[in-house]
Amino acid sequence: MPSREAAVRIASVATATPPFAMEQQNAGAYLEEHFGAGLTPRSRTVLRQVFAHPSVRTRHFAVEDPACLVDEDPDRRVARFTRWAVDLSEKAARKALRQIGLGPADVSSLMVNTCTGYLCPGIATYLIERLGLPRDIRAHDLVGSGCGGAVASLQLAESLQRAAPGGVTLTVSVEICSATFQMSDDLSLIVSNALFSDGAAAAVLWDRPGGLELIAGGSRFAPEHRDAIRYVHKNGQLHNQLSIQLPRIVREPTAELVRRLLSAHDLRAGDVRHWALHPGGEKVIASLQDALGLTEAQLAPSRAVLAEHGNISSPTVWFVLRKILDAGVAPGDWCMMLAFGAGFSVHGHLLRATPS
């Protein structure tokens, strides 16, 4: 009889943020000082309201001085993205490997995702050089998945790991959202500038004992809602576009994906103790809480990450999972990772904690 395929597990998760942090009230005051003259009275009122909301307290940005955002030209923006995306990715990757006593030479596959900057060759090649990864490594870059990219990348990383049993796969998510900063009399941009921040996360997959076993993953797409959450190009630069209908739009595809993943294993939402839910904003969290029937305790890690970091786009769900792991996960506990973003798309993975 053929041998059973080895289980793939998340062995470690690590995060990294740039050192510059800004309290939300100061960020709002900064925007009003530098850009308030171009806003209507209504927009200035909205700006003050969204920056006063208690759901976000602090955010980190990949800058030495936020003054660079006022008149940053495209070339300097790409250079800043490149520097910080590579630096933060390297930092998160090294931390993830150290957690389980591994080094760069142990890595057989690499998966990197981002949506806030475009490099060719991609970030993966920079990490091969910076980390000293094997030159015959399987390495891939994923772009264009938005805030859902980390879970989509995890699904691809799982495939890489299954194709090389006994190896180790490193998956990295990094976003420099400030490298897409724009400001005008546009409610999408005002809300975006009160929500997004910068950071990276890395996870190591292996087929050895211990960690969170990848039980089942899946995605659900609603392309008819593509314009609800996306980047659009204006004058050759990215501008974030967010619909006020997003809390409503996210409900049905997310609930359907969760039902599909859980029913295949005879589970209900109440059987899943831990929920690593991407915190796309307080209204989105509240909408999904209602749609999925989740408790305040189950959503506490997502809300805590939103308060401490804002929305870091794709790495954010790894920040939530890291917080869950820090609080303690018992062998046998179920966990659901969920992230959503451009497409419109929802990506999920059902996990289960296993003994070391």
Residue 4: predicted pLDDT? 57
Q: Could you report how far apart the first and last alpha carbons of the chain are, in Å?
A: 28
Strands 58-60 and 109-114, bridge-based pairing: unpaired
CA separation for the pair 265, 333 (Å, rounded): 14
Helix-helix angle 123-131:74-99, to 10 degrees: 50
pTM of the predicted model, to two decimals?
Answer: 0.95
Q: Does the fold of domain 211-354 match that of domain 9-206?
A: yes
Strands 109-114 and 169-176, bridge-based pairing: parallel
pLDDT tens over the chain, length 356 residues: 334 578 999 999 999 999 999 999 999 999 999 999 999 999 999 999 999 999 999 999 999 999 999 989 999 999 999 999 999 999 999 999 999 999 999 999 999 999 999 999 999 999 999 999 999 999 999 998 899 999 999 999 999 999 999 999 999 999 999 999 999 999 989 999 999 999 999 999 999 998 999 999 999 998 898 888 788 878 877 787 777 888 899 999 999 999 999 999 999 999 999 999 999 999 999 999 999 999 999 999 999 999 999 999 999 999 999 999 999 999 999 999 999 988 889 999 999 999 87
Q: Is the peptide bond before 355 cis (omega within 30 degrees of 0)?
A: no
210 three-state secondary structure? coil
Residue 244: predicted pLDDT? 83
Extents of the domains making up the chain: 9-206, 211-354
Per-residue DSSP letters for 73-116? Answer: -HHHHHHHHHHHHHHHHHHHHHHHHHHTT--GGG--EEEEEESS
Q: What sign does the dihedral 148-314-303-47 (CA atoms) show?
A: negative
Q: Are 217 and 154 in contact (CB under 8 A)?
A: yes
**Domain spanning 9-206, CATH class:** alpha beta
Strands 237-242 and 229-234, bridge-based pairing: antiparallel
CA separation for the pair 125, 145 (Å, rounded): 20
Strands 109-114 and 138-143, bridge-based pairing: parallel
Residue 332: predicted pLDDT? 95
Whether domain 211-354 has CATH 3.40.47.10: yes
Residue (of 158, 164, 259) closest to 215 by Cα position: 158
Q: Is the peptide bond before 196 cis (omega within 30 degrees of 0)?
A: no
CA separation for the pair 73, 184 (Å, rounded): 16
Phi/psi of residue 222, each to 5°? -135, 75
